[in-house]
């Protein structure tokens, strides 16, 4: 069974940093592209970042480019999101999601981890 | 950037009704080399993570009931639920993956 379990969220002050993790199991992690997608309270979905299976290709949404860094450790089956210079508008539930076998849709999602940016 | 526009934003439905919702993209999602439309649909129930329903505009994900039907091509797409069940009350999002990723704002199905 595919499982994606996020961790590392919490309350952080504006301008500070936070690092999220997503532990994957139930599939060969190194074969799949992975993503972070967020959802502000009561709002819709916003794609944040993508990383290819071997980390060769990395893409970011304009709203986080230069502040967030996506990475992965295939030996540890873990996806990361390093977030710096956090703003109140980064407050959201952050989901880890896997790319599909046949395309860059998202076929499995984690349960999400909450990040709250507030003083 | 590709903009995805979903209509309506909300819709009140009764069980057994046929429901359609629209998703329009600001540019074509049809890749001519493989004739595929880079469009997916997701269902999100309250308090749950999104669930993939449809990809390539019309391919149903494994395990998704056949009452969920995706159609359309180019810039205009539709998700149809042939006979709505109570468990289908949720927010439905479309997503383009032609050029990076963009989601629509969602269509919320509510009980009439």
Mean of pLDDT values over B77-92: 97
Q: How far apart are CA B83 and CA B67, in angstroms?
A: 6
Partners of A93 on chain B (C-beta within 8 Å) are none
Which of B101, B103, B107 to mutate to test binding with chain A, by most A CBs within 10 Å of its CB? B101
A18 Cβ contact partners less than 8 Å away, ≥ 6 residues apart = A8, A9, A10, A12, A83, A86, A115
Q: How far is CA A56 from the centre of its chain?
A: 17
Question: pLDDT class for B95, splitting at 50, 70, 90?
Answer: very high
Question: pLDDT class for A81, splitting at 50, 70, 90?
Answer: very high
CA distances from residue B24 to A107, A114, B39, B58, B70 in whole angstroms, order as listed:
22, 30, 10, 15, 13
On average, the pLDDT of chain B sits at 97
In angstroms, the first-to-last Cα distance of chain B is 36
Residues 53-112 of B with CB under 8 A from A: 55-56, 61, 91, 93, 95, 97, 100-106
A110 to chain B: closest CA residue: B49
CA distances from residue A42 to A92, B7, B94 in whole angstroms, order as listed:
9, 18, 17
Mean of pLDDT values over B50-74: 98
Tens digits of residue pLDDT in A44-56: 999 999 999 999 9
3-state secondary structure of A31: helix
Residue A94 forms contact with B (CB below 8 Å) = no
């Amino acid at each position: 069974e595919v499982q994606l379990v996020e961790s590392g969220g919490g309350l952080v002050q504006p301008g500070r940093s936070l690092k999220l993790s997503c532990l994957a199991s139930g599939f060969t992690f190194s074969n799949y592209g992975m993503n972070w997608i967020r959802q502000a309270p009561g709002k819709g979905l916003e794609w944040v970042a993508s990383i290819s299976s071997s980390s060769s290709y990395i893409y970011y949404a304009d709203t986080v480019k230069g502040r967030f860094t996506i990475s992965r450790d295939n030996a540890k089956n873990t996806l990361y999101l390093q977030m710096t210079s956090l703003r109140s508008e980064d407050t959201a539930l952050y989901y880890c999601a896997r790319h599909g076998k046949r395309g860059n849709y998202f076929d499995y999602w984690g349960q999400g981890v909450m990040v709250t940016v507030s003083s | 950037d590709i903009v995805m526009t979903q209509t309506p934003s909300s819709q009140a439905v009764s069980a057994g009704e046929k429901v359609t919702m629209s998703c329009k993209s600001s540019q074509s999602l049809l890749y001519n080399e493989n004739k595929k439309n880079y469009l997916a649909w997701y269902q999100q129930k309250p308090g749950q993570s999104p669930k993939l329903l449809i990809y390539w505009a019309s391919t149903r994900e494994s395990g998704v009931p056949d009452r969920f039907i995706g159609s359309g091509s180019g810039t205009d797409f539709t998700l149809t639920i042939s006979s709505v069940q109570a468990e289908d009350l949720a927010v439905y999002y479309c997503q383009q993956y032609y050029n990076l990723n963009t989601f629509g704002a969602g269509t919320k199905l509510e009980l009439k």
